[in-house]
Amino acid sequence: MGESRQSYLVAAASAVSLLREPTVSAAWNKPSALTEFSIAGLAGHLAHQLVRVHDVLAQNGEVQEPTELIEHYSRSPWVQAGLDHESNVGIRRHGEESAAEGPEALADRAQALLDGLRVALPAEPADRVVYLPWAGWSLRLDDFLLTRLVELVVHSDDLAASVGVDTPELPASVISPVVELLAQLAVHRHGATAVIRTLSRAERAPATISAF
């Protein structure tokens, strides 16, 4: 199994463990560290990163020529849209819907999906391309898993910060590709000079180099 697939499974397993944290269930209906997200909604969104992978693997239809990762993010409306944009409103709504049955049910569903993906992902061919029906284009499976890896790492930190526990510690095999992709997206959005100044010259750093 390729490193990207193994890294995804490691991050997914960590996310499922975080969903079972007693502090998550205790704060279930409280606001999260993310604007307009409740703890429940954020947990539902985190768990949805397993649902997404399960769903695209289950498709057997014809796929398109895969889109490159930078283009994928450039074409995704949520990336630079405001909180009130329909894409971001839909993300929050779906998170709440996913969490509607409560923390234990959500964690159990996520665990079942993880168990299935541990079997399914190693069996997928190295050149597998998957279609993303919500986007309208295709990605290489390993590229899609990298997008989910970013979501798992970023939102695990969000959820941990929301309930006052330490952010899960993840190995370099998980963190390094996430940092690399976020850096590439930051350069694409803000330019190389802005990123270089932020990392090396605080006195000339721009206000933000956020990838999203």
CA distance 161 to 154: 11
- Rounded to whole angstroms, what are the CA distances from 105 to 37, 86, 100? 19, 28, 9
3-169 placed in CATH 3.40.630.30 = no
| Ranges of each domain in the chain | 3-169
Which of 19, 40, 21 minimizes the C-alpha distance to 30?
40
Instruction: Rounding to the nearest 10 degrees, give the CA dihedral for residues 197, 198, 200, 204.
Output: 50
For 7-95, list the strands marked E by DSSP. Answer: none
The token pair that represents 28 in the structure block? 């279930």
The token pair that represents 101 in the structure block? 């049955």
Tens digit of each residue's pLDDT, the chain (212 residues): 689 999 999 999 999 999 999 999 999 999 999 888 899 999 999 999 999 999 999 987 777 899 999 999 998 876 666 666 666 677 788 888 888 999 999 999 999 999 999 999 999 999 999 999 988 999 999 999 999 999 999 999 999 999 999 999 999 999 999 999 999 999 998 999 999 999 999 899 888 888 88
Number of H helices, E strands in the chain: 9, 2
